[in-house]
Structure 1
Amino acid sequence: MTNIENNDFEFAHKSETVDHYSGKSYSYGQLVWHRFLRNKGAVISAVVLIIIALIAILAPYLSQYSPTTPYPNQSNLAPGVNGHWFGTDNLGRDIFVRVAAGTSVSLRVALVAMAIDLVIGTSYGLISGYFGGKIDLFMQRITEILSTIPMIIIVTLLVLVMKPGLVSIITAMMIVGWINMSRIVRAQVLELKTSEYVLSAKTMGESDIKIIFSQILPNTLGQIITTFMLSIPNAIFLEAFLAFIGLGVPAPLASLGTMINDGYTQAIVYPYMVIFPVLFLALIMLSFNIIADGLRDAIEGS
């Protein structure tokens, strides 16, 4: 019999293994944060938004010019003349200060409206999806009816009933702005409520409220955050559109939409009057969209 020694055989594709375990453990939130920081586009967009927000907050207080006070002797000045970085409009108002004030108005309208929509839409979707049956059927019919009404009609009716301004715009957004959020949350709940851990919680006798807030809601937060971030630029654009067609904040207040509306008629002669508010609006919307994509990738672990 042939003697077999250990040296006669060796493992194919033998390779050394390196242990990469660093000894650190991260929570889910920390993992999402680290993934987000690796997305350079999202980080740059976040920095741009912070800079724009700081300009919107500080510029009206640091400048010697008021965003609402006209200065007839300084009308239609080009950018850089007499200390006006973005120039002045036909009433002599500083465009830089007005863009900052308009950005603040647009951001406040969007954030307040979408924060309320986040609460309404999430709650509506959780209730509709979890309880199902006749409750779900009734609640979905309501969303279908509201979603068929154009936003412009709602805003116009509100302006006729209420005074034009921030309250009427925010109210209009609240009426239908939560529908998309509720549908997304409902779809997530319909999928999650048949999972094993939810069925186990029901078997153990946990209440519906506890199951919703401890089992289902935490597992929908990723989609909720992403949808919320994507909804903000849509709300900003809607506010700008309403202001552009004359349904925005009343004079002498300004939003980015009202500035675009005021400037586009003189865009050929004084293009800077419309370029700067359009640029700020585009940067805000683009930044929010990139951040939302970055958050979605970080949450999904891609």
Structure 2
Amino acid sequence: MTTELETVAELAVPATAKQRSPAYFAWRRFVANKAAVGGGVILVILILAAIFAPLFTKTDPATQAFLTQSLAFPSAEFWFGVDDLGRDFFTRIVYGARVSLTIGFAAAAFSVVIGIPLGALAGYFGGRTDWVIMRIIELFSVVPSLLAALLLGAITGGGFLTIIVISALFGWVNVCLLVRAQVKALREKEFIRAAQALGASPWYIIRRHLIPNAISPIIVGFVLAIPLAMMLEASLSFLGIGVPPPTPSWGQMINVGMNFMFFYWHMAVFPTAALAITVLATTLFGDGLRDALDPTLKGR
């Protein structure tokens, strides 16, 4: 039976406050970050444009349908102009977004697949296991990713799969460190001690308790791995060992545009701007997500 004092205290607390979860506070912090929201909106627009590119572009990106108007400047007919081979530049920019985002998301997914188990093992077991994994991380940290990517790309000839594998090989490090830190903080909690006392195996504890409770850094690591993969793809394509032509790639288009930039500015400006805006939007979104999911900011 509730006392009169408890009843008054119950009435003093707003009803909505009782229903507020950590997700509510995370959403509120994310929405308050205007840069992150703006980055998220731009990222959604780019993803939708890449998926539905055939619905609002003129031609196939590889079709040389406007040879008589090669190198035409931006106009009402050609929003981003025409390239040197008579292809609509707006179409190629949009399809280039499909290439960059596909590689970015695929490489980030592989980075998470590699980083989660290694980070969980290092954080939970510590000792020799942690030492070995940290030495591997240091090895990948000191090797310049672009130089290693150039070597592997030259050996394999480049292509979609090669770029995704190369990006994942260097992208897993940040995910691993995030998961490791979260697992180290969680392994001393009461519910982990209770599971150990009940005889649960380390693999069960990692799979059922630690990784699900480390989902926030995993999401952040996934999002922040996307722009790194896109920049690596653009760098390799710029150097001629990335996505092979005629498949449109922003790095490849920037490389070609450099030869015309003093006379036909649109050839270099539009792919550069597209890459910069996409990477910036993804980074802002990832940073905002990291701040929103930070448990130390709970309730703010």
- Which 5+ residue runs of structure 2 have no aligned equivalent? 1-10
Normalising to structure 1: TM-score of the pair? 0.86
Query: Which 10-residue stretch deviates more, 55-64 or 240-249?
Result: 55-64
Q: Which residue is 1:159 aligned to?
A: 153
Task: Work out whether residues 226 and 292 of structure 1, in 8 Å CA contact, stay in contact via their aligned partners in 2.
Answer: yes
State the alpha-carbon separation in 1 of the partners of residues 132 and 288 from structure 2. 36
Q: Name the aligned partner's letter for residue 110 of structure 2.
A: I
Deviation, 1:23, is: 6.7
State the alpha-carbon separation in 1 of the partners of residues 35 and 140 from structure 2. 36
Task: Work out whether residues 179 and 218 of structure 2, in 8 Å CA contact, stay in contact via their aligned partners in 1.
Answer: yes
Number of residue pairs aligned between Structure 1 and Structure 2: 285
SS of 2:52's partner is helix
- CA 1:298 to 1:174, structure 2 compared with 1: closer, same or farther past 3 Å? closer
| Selected match of 1:270 from 264, 281, 285 | 264
State the alpha-carbon separation in 2 of the partners of residues 146 and 38 from structure 1. 36
Q: Which residue is 1:73 aligned to?
A: 68
State the alpha-carbon separation in 2 of the partners of residues 160 and 238 from structure 1. 14
State the alpha-carbon separation in 2 of the partners of residues 32 and 167 from structure 1. 35
Q: For 1:36-47, what aligned pairs fall within 5 Å after superposition?
A: 36-47=30-41
Q: Tell me, yes or no, if structure 1 residue 253 matches structure 2 residue 247.
A: yes
State the alpha-carbon separation in 1 of the partners of residues 153 and 102 from structure 2. 19
Q: For 1:105-184, what aligned pairs fall within 5 Å after superposition?
A: 105-184=99-178
SS of 2:61's partner is coil
State the alpha-carbon separation in 2 of the partners of residues 296 and 158 from structure 1. 32
Deviation, 1:142, is: 2.6
Deviation, 1:104, is: 0.7
Q: Which residue is 1:4 aligned to?
A: none
Q: Which residue is 2:91 aligned to?
A: 97
Q: Which residue is 1:287 aligned to?
A: 281
State the alpha-carbon separation in 1 of the partners of residues 274 and 52 from structure 2. 16
SS of 1:177's partner is helix
State the alpha-carbon separation in 2 of the partners of residues 237 and 166 from structure 1. 14
State the alpha-carbon separation in 1 of the partners of residues 166 and 146 from structure 2. 9
Task: Work out whether residues 57 and 90 of structure 2, in 8 Å CA contact, stay in contact via their aligned partners in 1.
Answer: no
Deviation, 1:224, is: 2.1
Deviation, 1:24, is: 5.5
Q: 1:202-254: per-residue Cα shift (whole Å, max 9, x none)?
A: 12222212321333223322222222222211221121122122221111112
Task: Work out whether residues 74 and 266 of structure 2, in 8 Å CA contact, stay in contact via their aligned partners in 1.
Answer: yes
Deviation, 1:20, is: 3.0
Deviation, 1:18, is: 5.8
Deviation, 1:166, is: 0.9
Identity %: 39
Q: 1:141-171: per-residue Cα shift (whole Å, max 9, x none)?
A: 3333333332233323323432321111111
Q: Name the aligned partner's letter for residue 72 of structure 1.
A: L
Task: Work out whether residues 60 and 100 of structure 1, in 8 Å CA contact, stay in contact via their aligned partners in 2.
Answer: no
State the alpha-carbon separation in 1 of the partners of residues 224 and 88 from structure 2. 32
Q: Which residue is 1:227 aligned to?
A: 221
Q: Which has the larger radius of gyration?
A: 1
State the alpha-carbon separation in 2 of the partners of residues 130 and 138 from structure 1. 14
Q: Name the aligned partner's letter for residue 33 of structure 1.
A: W
- CA 1:138 to 1:40, structure 2 compared with 1: closer, same or farther past 3 Å? closer
Q: CA RMSD in A?
A: 2.2
Q: Which residue is 1:33 aligned to?
A: 27
Q: Name the aligned partner's letter for residue 274 of structure 2.
A: F
Q: Name the aligned partner's letter for residue 77 of structure 1.
A: A
State the alpha-carbon separation in 2 of the partners of residues 157 and 241 from structure 1. 13
- Which 5+ residue runs of structure 1 have no aligned equivalent? 1-16
Task: Work out whether residues 57 and 100 of structure 1, in 8 Å CA contact, stay in contact via their aligned partners in 2.
Answer: no
State the alpha-carbon separation in 2 of the partners of residues 298 and 146 from structure 1. 29
The structure with the largest helix share of the pair is 2
State the alpha-carbon separation in 1 of the partners of residues 130 and 17 from structure 2. 47
- CA 1:38 to 1:140, structure 2 compared with 1: closer, same or farther past 3 Å? closer
State the alpha-carbon separation in 1 of the partners of residues 231 and 112 from structure 2. 18
Normalising to structure 2: TM-score of the pair? 0.86
- CA 1:39 to 1:145, structure 2 compared with 1: closer, same or farther past 3 Å? closer
State the alpha-carbon separation in 2 of the partners of residues 131 and 265 from structure 1. 55
Q: Which residue is 2:237 aligned to?
A: 243
Q: 1:267-297: per-residue Cα shift (whole Å, max 9, x none)?
A: 1111111211122112211211221222123
Q: Name the aligned partner's letter for residue 79 of structure 1.
A: P
State the alpha-carbon separation in 2 of the partners of residues 88 and 170 from structure 1. 30
